[in-house]
Structure 1
Amino acid sequence: MYIIEGYLNGLLISASLIIAIGAQNAFVLGQSLKREHHYSAALLCVACDSLLILAGIFGLAAVLEHSPLATQLARWGGVTFLVGYAILALRRAFFPEVLRAKPQPARSRRSVLLATLAVTLLNPHVYLDTVVLIGAIGAQQSSPLLFALGAISASALWFASLALGGAWLSPWLARPVTWRIIDAAVAVMMLIVAWGLAWP
């Protein structure tokens, strides 16, 4: 049972952070709509997320294993962040935005990959989400590896969806009601996870 729970925790936490309006998602969606190196861009996003998630979980796991104080700081820091993120998600649910791809001129695979790295690694939120938050929660799981696999799976599924179904997803992602539902679900899930982290 704990195997399924650990994997699902990673999947849901990662999904709630990745599936949000942002430059990275809009960029991959735009490449998908143009059918311009979109698979390469999506794969690079997954690779970056995977490396950051693994670094966060297993880097923090090594620290937490030898420091009860660091464990408590990570625990309550994670709870605080999750509750704050839930409040922001509820706010977005009441004032929804939409995800729209901006038109871009045709580019080579190299320039697309460099742009993908820029929108991924130059965004400070990616480190807060993957290394700090996912890392802190994953490091405290009974099986950090299963949690990491779940988190990486969420990234792979989301970016595969954008790359494979960009044309189909675009009208759906451009509807404010879609983001109301997504953000409300994210808020509820974040609060549930925060409760479980605070009182395991």
Structure 2
Amino acid sequence: MIAAAATGFVTGFSLILAIGAQNAFVLRQGLLRTHVFWLCLLCATSDALLITAGVAGFSTITEAIPALPRIMAIGGALFLLAYGALRFRAAWIGDYEMTLAGQSAGLWKTLATGAAFTWLNPHVYLDTLGLVGAISLGFAEGGPRLAYGIGAVTASFVFFFSLGYGARLLAPLLQSARAWRILDIGIGLVMWALAAKLLAGLA
């Protein structure tokens, strides 16, 4: 049971460790120190639902709807392009008075954006429904497989809350409009690179 849980934790943590659109958004919100708890809870809970579905064998949905990955890839790419453009626009305008004051979009808008980053990302389905679900088949049904799933879910909660609240350690480095402009340009580049990767996969 312990080995299964540890495997689930390591698997789940390694899959979400890479810098992605969702992680970049959580990091930025953590730097702003606003709506951090609810955003982290949303991301971790979403992962938990997808991991549970993957471990339960729900990955067959992509087999039943072959066009779903392509539809999600197009939708996700368009969203990433739009959000990246917003970050470039913010960097171009350079009006960071509200940002430096720790203000951001409202709670519901922040959560809606976080949900879009999560549920419009085709890779999250590959990771959770596909990879996590496939690895779970190596454990016997019942306790061991349940422990594996719990380990993977725990990894998501540990990661997102660590990222969201750990971001404040970088706050001293972001006390100027120039620093935030560089951060937004970096995030915009990440978003567009991910969008290009999604679109390239459709070719």
Which residue does 2:159 correspond to in 1? 158
Which residue does 2:17 correspond to in 1? 19
Deviation, 1:163, is 1.7
Instruction: Give the alignment partner of residue 117 of structure 2, picking from 103, 108, 119.
Output: 119
Change (3 A) 1:169 1:128: farther
* 1:134 to 2:132 alignment: yes
Amino acid at match of 2:153: I
Amino acid at match of 1:159: F
Alignment of 1:1-200 (within 5 A): 3-59=1-57, 106-142=104-140, 143-168=144-169
Please list every run of 5 or more consecutive structure 1 residues that lacks an aligned counterpart in the other structure. 64-101, 172-200
Please list every run of 5 or more consecutive structure 2 residues that lacks an aligned counterpart in the other structure. 61-90, 174-203
Q: Distance in 2 between matches of 1:149 and 1:159?
A: 16
Superposition RMSD in Å? 2.2
- Percent same amino acid among aligned pairs? 42
Give the TM-score taking structure 1 as reference length. 0.60
Q: Distance in 1 between matches of 2:8 and 2:51?
A: 10
Q: Distance in 2 between matches of 1:169 and 1:132?
A: 34
Amino acid at match of 1:57: V
Q: Is the 8 A contact 1:60 1:136 kept in 2?
A: no
Q: Distance in 2 between matches of 1:13 and 1:106?
A: 33
CA deviation map 1:59-118 (0-9, x unaligned): 259x8xxxxxxxxxxxxxxxxxxxxxxxxxxxxxxxxxxxxxx98772110000000000
Deviation, 1:40, is 0.7
Q: Distance in 2 between matches of 1:127 and 1:28?
A: 19
Deviation, 1:139, is 2.9
Which residue does 1:176 correspond to in 2? none
Q: Distance in 2 between matches of 1:34 and 1:106?
A: 7
Q: Distance in 2 between matches of 1:130 and 1:167?
A: 28
Change (3 A) 1:17 1:43: same
Give the TM-score taking structure 2 as reference length. 0.60
Partner SS, residue 56 of structure 2: helix
Q: Is the 8 A contact 1:57 1:135 kept in 2?
A: yes
Partner SS, residue 19 of structure 2: coil
Count of residue pairs brought into register by the alignment: 130
Amino acid at match of 2:150: L
Amino acid at match of 1:44: L
